[in-house]
Amino acid sequence: MEIASLFLLAVLAWLWLDSLKAREIGMQAARRACDAEGMQLLDDTVSIASIKPSRDDDGQMALRRVYEFEYSDTGDDRRRGSVVLLGHAVIVVNVGARPPPVSLSLY
């Protein structure tokens, strides 16, 4: 029973440390994406939205994590973005697209 408890504690410690590393990778990806689009990453953080096991391209099991963050394109609004990681590899970063300028025509 003690060995099982120690094993469970070790697995939880590994998951926690692995999640900290993945979160940092997600934050860097969100910062780079916002900088590339000329947007501001708000609160300078990402938060976990989901975590589940998944398979990579080689068929190996890895954790698929989705992190959400907020950014602003004008400084007056808040928009949601997301970063998807498979293991420690960034799969998708979504910062949306700027809406086209509105032109009003009276004719």
Give the confidence band of 98 by pLDDT, cuts at 50, 70, 90.
Answer: low
Number of domains into which the chain is organized: 1
DSSP 106: -
In a domain, 103, yes or no: no
**104 within some domain:** no
Report if residue 59 sits inside a domain: yes
Q: Is position 107 within any domain?
A: no
Domain assignment present for residue 100? The answer is no
Q: What is the pTM of this model?
A: 0.81
What's the one-letter identity of residue 89? A
CB atoms inside a 10 Å sphere around CB 69: 27
The model's pLDDT over 27-64, given as tens digits with 9 standing for 90+, comes to 999 999 999 988 999 988 899 999 999 998 888 999 99
Domain annotation covers residue 81:
yes
Residues, the chain, total? 107
Range of the domain at 82: 2-94
Question: Residues of the chain with pLDDT > 70: what percent?
Answer: 90
In a domain, 7, yes or no: yes
Q: Is 105 contained in some domain?
A: no
In tens, the pLDDT along 17-34 reads 999 999 999 999 999 999
| Token pair belonging to 62 | 């890895």
